[in-house]
Amino acid sequence: MGRDTSLFSPEESAVSRICSAVRPFIPGRTMCNNDASMKLRTFFLYYSVAAFLLSGVFLCAQPQAAPASAKTDDALELVKQGQKLNSEGKQDEALALYDRALQLSPNLFQADLAAGIALDLQGRYQQARQHLAKAIEEAPPASKVQALRTMAVSYAFEHNTDEARKYEQQAFDAQYSAKQFADAAGTADELARIYLESGDTDNAFQWYQSGHLTALHQPNLSLAEKDLWEFRWESALARIRVRQTGRDAEAPKHLAAAKAILDKGDNPDQVRFYPYLSGYVAFYLHDYKTAIVELQKGDQHDPFVLSLLAQAYEKSGDRTQTLDYYRKVLTINTHNPTNAFARPLAKEKIAALSK
């Protein structure tokens, strides 16, 4: 009677089947039946072959590691989910997802960049820059400028203009060399704003001027495009002059020049920025009532506009509105120069005014 293999484990049944399969091919099984030594050798050979074949069965049955591309796709999905959480102000939850993404794909540019952004928003700047430094190293060529500018903004959170310039300069040089003049001009203007809001009007002037001149290198600029860059230049001059001691009286002239360009009507999408510009000039001229009126017409999703409103209310002695606008700033989770200046100030003021 044959052995009932149903009483044995799958592994034991497999051994039994393999042994049956290899038994006819074992030399000496019929040749040396009367020799005890040969029987013992045959026994060991028989089970060695069976074990070898069985090991192949087990190896084939083992689950295979997920392909690298599948892991990357999973990691990117985690980053996408984390970015949504970050935009909702849930930085801790976002960072947990970025950490899982980096476990799946340790050199994933998008995960390190996103982690750096979330950590900056939490005020954990040193940790943020560790991730952003990795992101710069990992970035594909098309994303290198993005990574560099993100690092520059990280330093703007602490008004560290020297370090911000190192990264903005690299981004500017890369864009200029590639003859991407509009992009390079935007990078120059970004660095200029970092200087301006850090109190360095001289360097702000130089970089706004560089941005303006770089933009004009673009071939075949239309009249509307030329007007756009002229508006940005006059806007920059208005904000610079109003911050310079002894030259603040020049600011309204540049404000009027900017308004005249907008009145041509060939850049209607820029009209929405004028209330911010007008409110900015009024604020630094210490006309807080006008500043409030103008800034309330501005973009109420721009943290810098909200921050200026909070400061104008604070100068006017309205503590309730001051706190209200600073709290609104903290509901915005963008990573750009406007929030780099607005967010830390809002945290500081709320802590001080809530005592």
Query: What's the chain's average pLDDT?
Result: 87
pLDDT digits (tens, 9 = 90+) for 242-275: 999 999 999 999 999 999 999 999 999 999 999 9
Mean pLDDT of the region 58-62? 40
pLDDT score at 164 = 98
Mean pLDDT of the region 321-331? 98
The pTM assigned to this predicted structure is: 0.81
Contact 149, 135 (CB under 8 A): no
Task: Report the C-alpha gap between 322 and 307 in whole angstroms.
Answer: 9
Tell me, what amino acid is at 40? L
pLDDT score at 7 = 36
pLDDT digits (tens, 9 = 90+) for 285-299: 999 999 999 999 999
Q: Across 2-6, 56-60, 349-353, which has the greatest mean pLDDT?
A: 349-353
The CATH number for 68-138, chosen from 1.25.40.10, 3.40.50.620, 3.50.50.60, 1.20.140.10, is 1.25.40.10
First to last CA, the chain: 91
pLDDT digits (tens, 9 = 90+) for 119-144: 999 999 999 999 999 999 999 999 99
Centre a 10 Å sphere on the Cβ of residue 194 and count the other Cβ atoms it contains. Answer: 26
Q: State the pLDDT confidence band at 10, using cuts at 50, 70 and 90.
A: very low
Q: What is the CA radius of gyration of the chain?
A: 34
State yes or no: pLDDT of 307 exceeds 50: yes
Task: Report the C-alpha gap between 234 and 255 in whole angstroms.
Answer: 7
The residue among 51 and 86 whose pLDDT is bigger is 86
State yes or no: pLDDT of 24 exceeds 60: no
pLDDT score at 67 = 66
Spans of all domains in the chain? 7-53, 68-138, 160-220, 223-278, 299-355
Percent of the chain clearing pLDDT 90 (strictly above): 80
Task: Report the C-alpha gap between 144 and 313 in whole angstroms.
Answer: 41
Closest CA to 277 of 324, 312, 242: 242
